Amino acid sequence: MDYSSSLSSLSFHFNSFRASANSFLSQYEPLLLLLAPLFSLILAHLLRSFFNLIHERGLKASLLGFLMSSVKLIPGVKSYIDREKQKVVDKMQSDGKSKREGWRTELPSTGLGTLVLEKMKEEKRKDVAWQGKCSGTVYIGGSEIDGHFSLINEACSMFAHTNPLHLDVFQSVGRFEAEVVAMTAALLGSQEKSSGGQVCGNMTSGGTESILLAVKSSRDYMKSKKGITRPEMIIPVSAHSAYDKAAQYFNIKLWRVPVNKDFQADVKAIRRHINKNTILIVGSAPGFPHGIIDPIEELGQLASSFGICLHVDLCLGGFVLPFARELGYA
pLDDT score of 2: 62
Q: Cβ neighbours of residue 301 under 8 Å, at least 6 residues apart? A: none
Is a pLDDT exceeding 60 seen at residue 141? yes
Q: What is the pTM of this model?
A: 0.73
How does pLDDT run across 31-65, given as a tens digit for each residue?
A: 887 888 888 889 888 888 877 777 666 677 777 87
> Hey, which residues does 135 pair with through a beta bridge?
none
Band the pLDDT of 97: cuts 50, 70, 90.
low
CB atoms under 10 Å from CB of 214, counted, come to 21
pLDDT score of 185: 86
Mean pLDDT is highest, among 72-76, 236-240, 312-316, for 236-240
pLDDT score of 206: 86
| Closest to 288 in 3D by CA, of 137, 72, 112 | 137
| Closest to 266 in 3D by CA, of 237, 233, 231 | 237
Higher pLDDT, 23 or 56: 23
Domain ranges of the chain: 146-202, 204-326
How does pLDDT run across 268-309, given as a tens digit for each residue?
A: 999 999 999 999 999 999 888 888 999 999 999 999 999 999
> Hey, which residues does 257 pair with through a beta bridge?
236
Is a pLDDT exceeding 70 seen at residue 330? no
pLDDT score of 189: 79
How does pLDDT run across 153-210, given as a tens digit for each residue?
A: 889 999 999 998 898 999 999 999 999 999 888 887 787 777 777 778 888 888 899 9
Mean of pLDDT over the chain: 86
Domain 204-326 belongs in CATH node 3.40.640.10: yes
Is a pLDDT exceeding 90 seen at residue 315? no
Is a pLDDT exceeding 60 seen at residue 1? no
Provide φ and ψ at 261, rounded to 5°. -65, -20
